[in-house]
C-alpha cells in the first residue's frame, strides 16, 4: 500500500511541477478614463471559439488572466453591458503579456447581425458566472448535461457528482427553481440543450443569504439553467417497462409540463430489484447497483417498492411564488436475512456470538411538502414551508443466537417478533424578513415547529436458556403497546446591523420548547383466557419530559474580496424536567444548564480559485433522560440498561482545515480536508458481563476521546481532438482514540482507517466511455487491557464501467465489472466475489423508443459480506442479497418543446 501512495504522490507532484503559468495583464477604463469594474475578460481559440480562460476586473479596472503556452492564434475579448466590446488577436503565447490601458467606447447602435456576432460567451456578474448556451457546441439532440461538459472547469465524476472549479454542486435549478428535486438529475437527462438560453454558476446560499444579499458561507455551487423565453413551453414524457426471470420487474413513468412560470411534474416507479425512486441511468435503468440510480442498493435484503408523486410550482401572483408543492406516496417491502459472527472483547477473555435472522418488512408513506415566497413589499418577505408525513410499517422476524466462552456454551436464544406501527408528523415552518433602506440591515423571525405522534404494537415470543447463573430460563410471550408524542416548538428573532461596507453584527434570540410523552404497556399471554391480558409491571413504563431552552447569540461576519470571517458566541440556558414510572416506581428528575458555545470560521483566497479555510467550534451536549434515570430496563433478555443521575455534560471541541485549488487552464484540481474533534466528559457505556454472558450496562463519563479525519483528492484532465482522459486519485483517513469501561476495568482502543483510491475516466465523444476505479480500505485497531492486542482487516474493490456507442448512439452496449475481496473474514464467510452487470439497448423511431436486454449478476456470485472492527467487538456479517436475473425492457420518450417534437 505504501508503494501505491508514493506513486500517487509522485504523479501529482510531477503534474504540478510541469505546470507553466503565464498571465495577460491590463487595465480597463471608460471614455472618461475612469476604471471599469466587473468587466469580463475572456480568451478564445480562433479556430473554434472554445473558451480557454476568463476573469473579471477589480475596483481599479485591473485584470490578470492566467494562461499557458499557446502555439496557435487566440482572441482576447473584453465585455461590459454598459460599453462596446474590445477584441485583440494574439498569434501565440509563450510569455506573460502586458496590454496596458484598454479603453471601452460607449455603446453604439448596432444592427442585428452585429449584435449576434458580439454576444459574449461568458459574463461575470459579482458572484455569478454566466455562460451563453449558444456559444457551446453540442449535437442538435443533446440534453443539457452535454452543455455542462463543454464548460471549462465542469467535471462529472464516475459517481455522477458534478464539480465546478473544484467545488461540489449540491443544487441544480431550472429558471431559479428545483426541477422536481434539487440534485437536478431528471432535468439533466431529459431537457434538450437547444431550449436553454444561459447557464449560471453561483455559490449555494441559504434563504437568509438569498433574500438579504449577505455573503454566502457555503463551499458548494448551485447551477441554474435559464430557458429561452421563446421556448419556455414544453412537455417531457418518459415511460419504461421491463420484465425478467424470477418474476423480476421494473416500470417507471415521468411526465413534465412547463409553460413560462408554471411547471407540473408527475413521477411514478415500481420494481422488485432493489431500487427506490426514479432512475436516470440510460444504460441500466432501475437495476440495483446501476449507474446513478436513485436509492439503488447493494446492501442486504431483496426489496420491492412503488412510488408515485406530483410536483407543482408556479408564480401565483405578482408578489407570490410557489417554489414547491409536492405530494408523494410510496410503499416498499423487503425480505431480509443475515448471518453474524461477533467476538466481544473483554479484559480476561472474549465472548463469541453466532446469530442468524430472517424477516419481512413492509412500509407505506405519504409525504406532503410545500414552500412559498410572499413579497409584501420591496423590503418585506414571508417564506412558508409546511410539511406533513404519515407512515405505516409492519414487520416479522425470526432469529436465533448462541454465545460461548472458550468453546463453552453460555446461553442460547430464539425469538419471533411481529410489529405494526404508525407515525404522523407536521412541521409548519415560517420565516419572516424585514429589510431596511440601509443595505444589509434587517430584522427576521422564524417559527420552526414539529408535532409528531407514533404508535407501535409489538408481539414478542422468545426463549432464552442460560447455562450459567441462578436463572436458567427466560421465556416471554408478550404484547407491547407503545405511544410516543413529541412536540418541538422553536421561535427565533434576529437583528443584523452593518458596521462597515463589508462587515455586519447580528443579535439573535431563540426559544425552544420540547415536550415528549412516552408510554409502554406490556401484557403477558394468559393461557386460560387465550388473550394478552396479564399486565407486566416490570416491563411497562411511562415518561413525561419537558425541556425549555433560551439561547441568545451574538454573531459577526465580514466578507472582503480576499478573505471572509464569520463567528458567533452563544449561551444556552435550559431546564429539564422528567417524571417517569418504571417497575411501578415513580422517578422525578430536574436539572438546569447554562452552557456557552462558540464557532469561528476564516476563509482566505490565496489566488484565483485557490482557497484555504479554518474553523474551530465548541459546544456542550447534555445526557438524555434515559441515561440519567436510575432504573433498570430489562426489555432485552440478553442485556439490561440502568441510568446514572450523576452524568456530566459532554464538552466537544472541533477544528477543521480546508484547502482547494483549481487551475482552469491545466484542468487540474486538488482538495484537502482535515478535522480534529476532542471530547471531555464523553458519555460511554459502563458494561460488565455476568457468568451467563448477559450484558449489564450503565453509563459513565470519561475524558480524552478524540478523532482525526482527513480526505483529499486530485483531478487532472487531458483533452485531444474528441478524446478526454481524467485521472482522479483520492484518499481518506480516520483515526479514533476511545476509552471506556468493560467488566469494571478501564480499556482504550486506537483505530486507524485508510482508504486510498483511483478513478480514471476516458471518453471518446459519442463512441466510447471507459471508467476503471480501484479502492483499498485498510482498518487496524490496537487495544490495551483487552484479551487481544490488535485486529485488522483489508478490503479491495476493483471496478470497470465500459459503454460502447454504436450506429450514431442508436446501439448502446454497457458493462459494469467489479471484483471485491476481504481479508481476515471468519470461517464460513466467502472472502471474495466477482460481480458483472451487462446491458444492450437499441433505439429506433428517431430514438423515441429503446429496447433493452439486461443481465444482473451475470456470474451469479453477488454477495454482501463485511467485517466491522469497533472499540468493543469484531463482527463479520453476511446478508441476503439479490442474485442473477435477466430482464427485457422497452422505453418510450416523447418530448415537445415550443411546438416542436424532439
pLDDT digits (tens, 9 = 90+) for 702-722: 999 999 999 999 999 888 888
Do residues 1 and 776 lie in contact, with contact meaning Cβ atoms separated by under 8 Å?
A: yes
Question: Quick one: pLDDT band at residue 898, thresholds 50, 70, 90?
Answer: low
Lookup result for grid cell 437527462: 189
| 141 pLDDT higher than 50 | yes
Q: Report which of 781, 851, 855, 849 is spatially closest to residue 817, judged by C-alpha positions.
A: 855
The pLDDT of residue 116: 42
pLDDT score for 284: 77
* pLDDT value of position 902: 56
**Residue 424 scores a pLDDT above 50:** yes
| pLDDT above 60 (res 299) | no
Spatial separation of the C-alpha atoms in residues 542 and 587, rounded to whole Å: 10
For residue 12, the SS3 value is: helix
Give residue 900's pLDDT band: very low, low, confident or very high (50, 70, 90). Answer: low
Instruction: Tell me: pLDDT of 28 over 60.
Output: yes
| Class of residue 501 by CB neighbours under 10 A (exposed 0-12, middle 13-18, buried 19+) | exposed
Confidence of residue 389 (pLDDT cuts 50, 70, 90): very high
* Contact by Cβ (8 Å): 796, 787: no
Percent of the chain with pLDDT over 90: 59
Q: Alpha carbon 217 to chain centroid distance?
A: 18
pLDDT tens-digit map of 721-735: 888 899 999 999 999
Q: List CB contacts of 80: < 8 A, sequence separation 6 or more.
A: 28, 36, 38, 39, 40, 104
Q: Cα(633)–Cα(582) distance, rounded to whole angstroms?
A: 8
pLDDT at 289 over 70: no
Rounded Cα distance between 259 and 366, Å, is 28
* Dist. CA 715–CA 671, nearest whole Å: 9
pLDDT at 871: 81
Any idea what DSSP says for residue 194? G
**Nearest CA among 605, 604, 544, 552 for reference residue 576:** 544
* Burial state string for 829-848 with b = 16 or more CB within 10 A and e = fewer than 16: beeebebbbbbbbebeeeee
DSSP 85-122: EEEEEES-BSS-EEEEEEEPPBP----HHHHHHT--SE
Does residue 99 register a pLDDT over 80?
Answer: yes
Rounded to whole angstroms, how far apart are CA atoms 728 and 8?
A: 10
Q: How confident is the model at residue 296 (pLDDT cuts 50, 70, 90)?
A: very low
Per DSSP, the residues of 826-876 read: PTTS--EEEEEEEEEEEEETTTTEEEEEEEESTTS---EEEEEE-SSEEEE
Q: Distance (Å, rounded) from C-alpha 553 to C-alpha 512? A: 14
Non-local CB neighbours of 393 within 8 Å, separated by 6+ positions:
361, 362, 363, 364, 419, 420, 421, 422
Does pLDDT of 520 surpass 60?
Answer: yes
Judge contact between 356 and 338, C-beta under 8 A. yes
Report yes or no: 837 and 818 within 8 Å, Cβ to Cβ: no
* DSSP 8-state class, residue 247: G
Long-range pairs of 2-10 with CB within 8 A, sequence gap ≥ 24: 4/756, 4/776, 5/731, 5/756, 8/714, 8/729, 8/731, 8/756, 8/758
Question: Do 895 and 853 form a contact (C-beta atoms < 8 A)?
Answer: no
- The helix or strand, by DSSP H or E, that contains position 149, with its residue range, turns out to be helix 144-149
Share of the chain above pLDDT 70, in %: 94
Instruction: Tell me which residue of 235, 144, 157 sits closest to 188, measured CA to CA.
Output: 144
Q: What is the pLDDT of residue 112?
A: 43
Q: How confident is the model at residue 362 (pLDDT cuts 50, 70, 90)?
A: very high
Three-class DSSP category at 133? helix
Instruction: List phi, psi (to 5°) of 810.
Output: -75, -35
- Pick the more confident residue, 530 or 827: 530
* Phi, psi of 643, rounded to the nearest 5 degrees: -75, 165
Choose the weakest-confidence range: 9-18, 505-514, 657-666, 781-790.
9-18
Which tens digit of pLDDT belongs to each residue from 618-630? 999 999 999 999 9
Q: Of 103-107, 349-353, 453-457, 707-711, which range is least confident?
A: 103-107
- Tell me if 763 sits within 8 A of 804, measured CB to CB: no
Residue 222 has pLDDT above 80, yes or no: yes
Show the cell assigned to 743: 467488566
Contact 700, 694 (CB under 8 A): no
What CA–CA distance (Å, rounded) separates 219 from 611? 10
Bridge partners for 350 per DSSP: 345
Task: Give the burial class of 68: count Cβ atoms within 10 A of its Cβ; 0-12 exposed, 13-18 middle, 19 or more buried.
Answer: middle
Between CA 212 and CA 206 the distance in angstroms is: 10
Residue pLDDT, tens place only, 439-475:
889 999 999 999 999 999 999 999 999 998 778 889 9
| Helix, strand, coil % in the chain, rounded to nearest 5 | 5, 70, 25
Measuring CA to CA, how many Å separate 54 from each of 95, 226, 457, 654?
Answer: 18, 21, 63, 38
Owner of C-alpha cell 443584523: 496
Give yes or no for a contact between 165 and 671, defined as CB atoms under 8 angstroms apart. no
Residue whose C-alpha cell is 439532440: 141
For cell 492566467, name the residue.
Answer: 66
Residue 593 DSSP code: E
Q: Which three cell numbers stand for residue 476?
A: 416471554
The per-residue pLDDT for 290 is 45
Residues in the chain: 902
Contacts of 436 (CB under 8 A, 6+ apart): 379, 442, 443
CA terminus-to-terminus distance, the chain: 51
| Contact predicate 75/67, CB 8 Å | no
53 has which bridge partners?
43
Task: Tell me how far the alpha carbon of residue 189 is from its chain's centroid.
Answer: 20
- Distances in whole angstroms, Cα of residue 460 to Cα of each of 126, 324, 416: 63, 43, 6
pLDDT of residue 16: 45
Tell me which of 546-555, 593-602, 844-853 is least confident. 844-853
Rg (CA), the chain: 31
Q: What was the pLDDT predicted at 541?
A: 94
CB atoms inside a 10 Å sphere around CB 240: 20
Grouping H, G, I as helix, E, B as strand and the rest as coil, residue 16 is helix
Give which of 631, 447, 619 is closest to 539, Cα–Cα.
631
User: 836 pLDDT band (50/70/90 cuts)?
Assistant: very high
The mean of the pLDDT values for the chain is 88
Strands (E), 643-789: 650-663, 668-680, 682-689, 695-702, 705-720, 723-742, 745-754, 757-764, 768-784
What is the side-by-side order of every strand in the sheet holding 40-45? 51-56, 40-45, 74-80, 83-90
Question: Residue 230: pLDDT above 90?
Answer: no
The residue among 82, 89, 87 whose CA lies nearest residue 34 is 82
Pairing of strands 900-901, 885-897: antiparallel
pLDDT the model gives residue 863: 84
C-alpha cell of residue 50: 472554445
Q: What is the mean pLDDT of residues 755-767?
A: 91
Q: Which domains does the chain have, with CATH numbers?
A: 1-107 (2.60.40.10), 127-230 (2.170.130.10)
Are 182 and 115 a contacting pair, CB within 8 Å? no
688, 743 contact by CB (below 8 A): yes
Amino acid at each position: 500500500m505504501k508503494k501505491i501512495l508514493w506513486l500517487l504522490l509522485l504523479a501529482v507532484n510531477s503534474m504540478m511541477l510541469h505546470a507553466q503559468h503565464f498571465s495577460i495583464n491590463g487595465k480597463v477604463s471608460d471614455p472618461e478614463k475612469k476604471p471599469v469594474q466587473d468587466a469580463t475578460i475572456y480568451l478564445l481559440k480562433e479556430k473554434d471559439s472554445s473558451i480557454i480562460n476568463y476573469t473579471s476586473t477589480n475596483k481599479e479596472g485591473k485584470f490578470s488572466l492566467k494562461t499557458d503556452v499557446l502555439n496557435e492564434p487566440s482572441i482576447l475579448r473584453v465585455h461590459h453591458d454598459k460599453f462596446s466590446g474590445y477584441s485583440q488577436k494574439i498569434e501565440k503565447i509563450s510569455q506573460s503579456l502586458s496590454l496596458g490601458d484598454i479603453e471601452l467606447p460607449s455603446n453604439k447602435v448596432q444592427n442585428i447581425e452585429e449584435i449576434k456576432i458580439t454576444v459574449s460567451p461568458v459574463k461575470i456578474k459579482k458572484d455569478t458566472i454566466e455562460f451563453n448556451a449558444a456559444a457551446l457546441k453540442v449535437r442538435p439532440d443533446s440534453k443539457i448535461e452535454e452543455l455542462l461538459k463543454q464548460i471549462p472547469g465542469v467535471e462529472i465524476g464516475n459517481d455522477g457528482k458534478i464539480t465546478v472549479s473544484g467545488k461540489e454542486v449540491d443544487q441544480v435549478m431550472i429558471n431559479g427553481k428545483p426541477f422536481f428535486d434539487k440534485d437536478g438529475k431528471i432535468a439533466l437527462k431529459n431537457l434538450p440543450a437547444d431550449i436553454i438560453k444561459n447557464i449560471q454558476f453561483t455559490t449555494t446560499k441559504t434563504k437568509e443569504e438569498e433574500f438579504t444579499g449577505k455573503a454566502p458561507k457555503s463551499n458548494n455551487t448551485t447551477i441554474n439553467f435559464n430557458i429561452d423565453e421563446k421556448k419556455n413551453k414544453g412537455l417531457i414524457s418518459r415511460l419504461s417497462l421491463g420484465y425478467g426471470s424470477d418474476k423480476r420487474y421494473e416500470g417507471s413513468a415521468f411526465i413534465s409540463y412547463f409553460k413560462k412560470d408554471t411547471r407540473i411534474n408527475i413521477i411514478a416507479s415500481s420494481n422488485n430489484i432493489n431500487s427506490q425512486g426514479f432512475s436516470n441511468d440510460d444504460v441500466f435503468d432501475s437495476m440495483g447497483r446501476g449507474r446513478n440510480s436513485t436509492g439503488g442498493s447493494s446492501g442486504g435484503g431483496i426489496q420491492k417498492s412503488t412510488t408515485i408523486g406530483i410536483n407543482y410550482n408556479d408564480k401565483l401572483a405578482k408578489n407570490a411564488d410557489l417554489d414547491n408543492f409536492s405530494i408523494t406516496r410510496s410503499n416498499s417491502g423487503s425480505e431480509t436475512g443475515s448471518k453474524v459472527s461477533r467476538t466481544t472483547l473483554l479484559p480476561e477473555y472474549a465472548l463469541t456470538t453466532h446469530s442468524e435472522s430472517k424477516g419481512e418488512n413492509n412500509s407505506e408513506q405519504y409525504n406532503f411538502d410545500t414552500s412559498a415566497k410572499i413579497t409584501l413589499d420591496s423590503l418585506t418577505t414571508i417564506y412558508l414551508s409546511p410539511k406533513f408525513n404519515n407512515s405505516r410499517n409492519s414487520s416479522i422476524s425470526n432469529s436465533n443466537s448462541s454465545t460461548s466462552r472458550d468453546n463453552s456454551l453460555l446461553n442460547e436464544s430464539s425469538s419471533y417478533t411481529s410489529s405494526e406501527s404508525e407515525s404522523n408528523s407536521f412541521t409548519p415552518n415560517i420565516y419572516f424578513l424585514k429589510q431596511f433602506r440601509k443595505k444589509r440591515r434587517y430584522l427576521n423571525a422564524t417559527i420552526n415547529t414539529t408535532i409528531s405522534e407514533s404508535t407501535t404494537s409489538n408481539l414478542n415470543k422468545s426463549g432464552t436458556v442460560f447455562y450459567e447463573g441462578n436463572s436458567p430460563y427466560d421465556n416471554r410471550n408478550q404484547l407491547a403497546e407503545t405511544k410516543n408524542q413529541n412536540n418541538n416548538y422553536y421561535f427565533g428573532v434576529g437583528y443584523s446591523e452593518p458596521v462597515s461596507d463589508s462587515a455586519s453584527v447580528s443579535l439573535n434570540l431563540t426559544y425552544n420548547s420540547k415536550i415528549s410523552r412516552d408510554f409502554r404497556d406490556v401484557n403477558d399471554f394468559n393461557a386460560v383466557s387465550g388473550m394478552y391480558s396479564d399486565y407486566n409491571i416490570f416491563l411497562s413504563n411511562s415518561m413525561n419530559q419537558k425541556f425549555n431552552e433560551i439561547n441568545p447569540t451574538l454573531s459577526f461576519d465580514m466578507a472582503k474580496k480576499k478573505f471572509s470571517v464569520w463567528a458567533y458566541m452563544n449561551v444556552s440556558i435550559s431546564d429539564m424536567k422528567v417524571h417517569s414510572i418504571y417497575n411501578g416506581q415513580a422517578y422525578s428528575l430536574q436539572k438546569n444548564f447554562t452552557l456557552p458555545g462558540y464557532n469561528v470560521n476564516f476563509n482566505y483566497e490565496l489566488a484565483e480559485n485557490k482557497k484555504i479555510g479554518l474553523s474551530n467550534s465548541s459546544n456542550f451536549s447534555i445526557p438524555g433522560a434515559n441515561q440519567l434515570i436510575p432504573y433498570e430496563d430489562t426489555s432485552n433478555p440478553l442485556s439490561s440498561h440502568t441510568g446514572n443521575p450523576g452524568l456530566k455534560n459532554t464538552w466537544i471541541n472541533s477544528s477543521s482545515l480546508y484547502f482547494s485549488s483549481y487551475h482552469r487552464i491545466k484542468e487540474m484540481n486538488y482538495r484537502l480536508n482535515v478535522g480534529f474533534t476532542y471530547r471531555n466528559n464523553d458519555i460511554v457505556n459502563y458494561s460488565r458481563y455476568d457468568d451467563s454472558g448477559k450484558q449489564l450496562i450503565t453509563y459513565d463519563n470519561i475524558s480524552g476521546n478524540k478523532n482525526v479525519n482527513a480526505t483529499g483528492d486530485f483531478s487532472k484532465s487531458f483533452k485531444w481532438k474528441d478524446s478526454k482522459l481524467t485521472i482522479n486519485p483520492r484518499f481518506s483517513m480516520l483515526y479514533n482514540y476511545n476509552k471506556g469501561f468493560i467488566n469494571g476495568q478501564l480499556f482504550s482502543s486506537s483505530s486507524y482507517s485508510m482508504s486510498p483510491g483511483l478513478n480514471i475516466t476516458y471518453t471518446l465523444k459519442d463512441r466510447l466511455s471507459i471508467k476503471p476505479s480501484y479502492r483499498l480500505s485498510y482498518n487496524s485497531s490496537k487495544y490495551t487491557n483487552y484479551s487481544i492486542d490488535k485486529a485488522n482487516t483489508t478490503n479491495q474493490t476493483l471496478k470497470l464501467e465500459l459503454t460502447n456507442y454504436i450506429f450514431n448512439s442508436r446501439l448502446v452496449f454497457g458493462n459494469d465489472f467489479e471484483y471485491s475481496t476481504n481479508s481476515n473474514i471468519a470461517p464460513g464467510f466467502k472472502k471474495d466475489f466477482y460481480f458483472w452487470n451487462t446491458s444492450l439497448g437499441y433505439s429506433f423511431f428517431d430514438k423515441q423508443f429503446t429496447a433493452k436486454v439486461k443481465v444482473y449478476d451475470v456470474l451469479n456470485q453477488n454477495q454482501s459480506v463485511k467485517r466491522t472492527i469497533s472499540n468493543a467487538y469484531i463482527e463479520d456479517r453476511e446478508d441476503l442479497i439479490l442474485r442473477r436475473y435477466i430482464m427485457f425492457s422497452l422505453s418510450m420518450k416523447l418530448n415537445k418543446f415550443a411546438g416542436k417534437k424532439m
